[in-house]
Copies of this chain bind each other. A is one copy, B any other.
Amino acid sequence: MPELPLERWINPEILAQPAYQVKISSHRIKLNQNESPWDWPQPLKEEVLRRLGQAAWNRYPELRPQGLKEKLAAGLSLSPEQLVLGKGSNEVLQAILRVALPPGEILCTLSPTFAIYRLLGEQQRARLVEVPLTADFQVNDKNLLAASKAARITILCNPNSPTGSLLPLELIERVARQTTGLVIVDEAYVDFSGVSALPILEHYPNLIITRTFSKAFALAGFRLGYALMHPQLAAQVHKGLLPFNIDVAAIIAAEVLLDHPEIVAERVRLIIRERDRLIARLDKMPGVTAWPSRANFFLLATPLGPRETFAQLAERGILVRDVSDYPGCAQVVRVTVGTPDENEALVQAVKELL
């Protein structure tokens, strides 16, 4: 096949980017994507399917699903006009950068952090300013404040992925107060930390919170997320989204399952308990470090190093995430907290490695 003149057709910043990939191996225990280890109970799934069966599949969904927005907003004591829905919070994030990050402006993030921020920033031709965490994966307040001051957009993942570390609300508030730009707090894992910027949202019109149905809410398969912000900002962010972006299946699933917050809350409590127990047990093992985390995952280092740890766990049917190519993460893998049985299997597997 002849080589194509790709440099004539494709933007240089795209040609320079590697394709996004997730390393998958066959497994019986999946601890690599920070999903909920539990599916929704079958009777609730049946209720979603019943309503989906009655919907007209040949018709476009609503341009922006008003009923779902109202339900979601009511649960957060916000107005629906403050809410922007996306296919995963990533889609809303992409829309925000699309409407608010011109070429050459500064996008400020932590480092390491969620890899998509950098990918999206590069595609906007932004200048990336990354604020390194300490060797123990904590944020340096002074550096963050200095770097975010003149940033057009600052994105703070809180708790941060892949580290699980938490930024205190006071720090987020200081960033929002002193920057001339927008501040996005990605709260994908907020259920596990209990620390949200929601209470200060009304005080900072440059503050945006993104959230997802893909983690604690156990709905990764349907791809749904949202952002919360000032209504005038939301009207602009909607322009960066394609019309009819939320399909009928996601609308119905979210509407039905939002009526069962008690299921999510109970599971979150169990994951937090398991997380703390698991980290304590692993960290006690000789040569093993398991970092404290406020999310549903944590970083793990063993004497084997990350590649061999990934491979040895994979051989035992356990899939974790090798994040050793993230800045400052050369020694670690990232492990999602699973069910109690899965976590027990992980502990036994790590013991065998040593």
In the bound assembly, the distance between CA atoms of A96 and B21 in angstroms comes to 19
Q: Is the CB of A242 within 8 A of B53?
A: no
- A6-45: which have CB < 8 Å to B? 6, 8-11, 14-15, 17, 19-22, 30, 33, 35-40, 42, 45
Cross-chain contact of A116 among B37, B242, B250 (Cβ < 8 A): B242
Partner of A57, one of B21, B221, B233: B221
CB within 8 A of A219: which of B38, B58, B231, B250?
B58
Q: Taking the full assembly, how many copies of this chain does it contain?
A: 2
B contact residues around A102 at 8 Å (CB): 11
Contacts of A240 in B (CB 8 A): 14, 123
Considering the chains assembled together, what is the distance between the CA atoms of A236 and B10 in angstroms? 7
Known: A218-B58, A249-B249. A99 touches B11 (CB 8 A): yes
Report if A57-B253 is in contact (Cβ < 8 Å); known contacts: A49-B49, A205-B4, A223-B247.
yes
For residue A59, which residues in chain B have a CB less than 8 angstroms away from its CB? 30, 33, 35, 220-221
Interface residues of A in 140-195 (CB under 8 A from B): 152, 180-182
Interface status of A307 (Cβ within 8 A of chain B) = no
A219 touches B15 (CB 8 A): no
**Stretch touching chain B among A87-95, A131-139, A345-353:** A87-95
CB distance from A8 to the nearest CB of B (A): 7
B57 and A219 within 8 A (CB): yes
Distance in angstroms from A235 CB to nearest chain B CB is 7
Q: How far is the CA of A30 from the CA of B58 in the complex (A)?
A: 11
Q: Is A61 an interface residue (CB 8 A)?
A: yes
A259 at the A/B interface (Cβ < 8 Å)?
no
* A230 interface contact, C-beta 8 A: yes
**Cβ-based interface call for A239 (8 A):** yes
Q: Which residues of B contact A17 (CB under 8 A)?
A: 239
Answer yes or no: A98 CB below 8 A from chain B CBs.
yes
Nearest opposing residue in chain B for A38, CB measure: B58
Q: Measured between alpha carbons, how far is A34 from B182 in the docked complex, in Å?
A: 39
Chain A residues 212 to 236 lying within 8 A of chain B, measured CB to CB, are 214, 218-223, 230-233, 235-236
- The one of B3, B9, B98, B233 in contact with A233, judged by C-beta atoms closer than 8 angstroms, is B9
Decide if B218 touches A9 in the complex (CB within 8 Å).
Answer: no
Q: Does A303 contact B (CB under 8 A)?
A: no
CB–CB A15/B236 < 8 A: yes
5 more contacts with CB within 8 A, not counting A9-B181, A17-B239, A99-B123, are: A8-B180, A11-B100, A19-B239, A35-B59, A57-B222
Which A residues lie at the B interface, using CB under 8 A? 1-4, 6, 8-11, 14-15, 17, 19-22, 30, 33, 35-40, 42, 45-46, 49, 52-53, 55-61, 63, 87-88, 90-91, 94, 98-103, 116, 123, 152, 180-182, 205-206, 214, 218-223, 230-233, 235-236, 238-240, 242-250, 253
